[in-house]
Amino acid sequence: MPVIPLLPLFHKFNSLYFENSLAVNNQPLVKVRWSDNRLKTTAGLYKRKRINGLVDSEIILSKPILSKLSNSEINSTLCHEMIHAWVDRVLKKNEIHGPNFLGKMSEINEKEKYFEISVRHSFPIERRELKYIGTCQNCGEKFSYRKRIKNIACKKCCVNFFKGSWNKNCLILFD
């Protein structure tokens, strides 16, 4: 299946579910694009960076993964990433799949008939083996990873003790 243009979908979902808060004068607050065939282990991502004091952010959808799937999966993934953008750019909160994200996801899922947004997808993706063990320095729970990740925190501890926000007391340390 050829890839579909993302900007019209972005504007449609922005109007339907985000009260046009992700655009100013019909210009998106975030760039929206297909990956250049390198994004192979996740269906999409939202990323931001600060350049000379200005926030630059973008939503990238995986061409290798989503081009083989239906429009429903593309819509779901785009909305998922738009929620991340909304939490970051509109609410100005620093959370991943925290309470604001989950609330907006539930709100959209109640209204939407043709697709469902979830925190995790089950699209077919080739994965490398899990070869690293990380331990939460707060609760001691162990987690398996494909690579070592810097500054990752235990979600359960962050939710239970810090209202879903990342906290250094919940860092996962690798052996």
The set of catalytic residues is 81
Interacting residues of 114 by C-beta distance below 8 A, sequence separation 6+: 72, 75
User: Residue type at 134?
Assistant: G
Find out whether 142 and 135 touch, Cβ atoms under 8 Å: yes
CA dist., res. 91 & res. 21, Å (int): 10
> Scanning the structure block, which residue is given the tokens 């350049």?
51
A 10 A CB-CB count for 163 gives 11
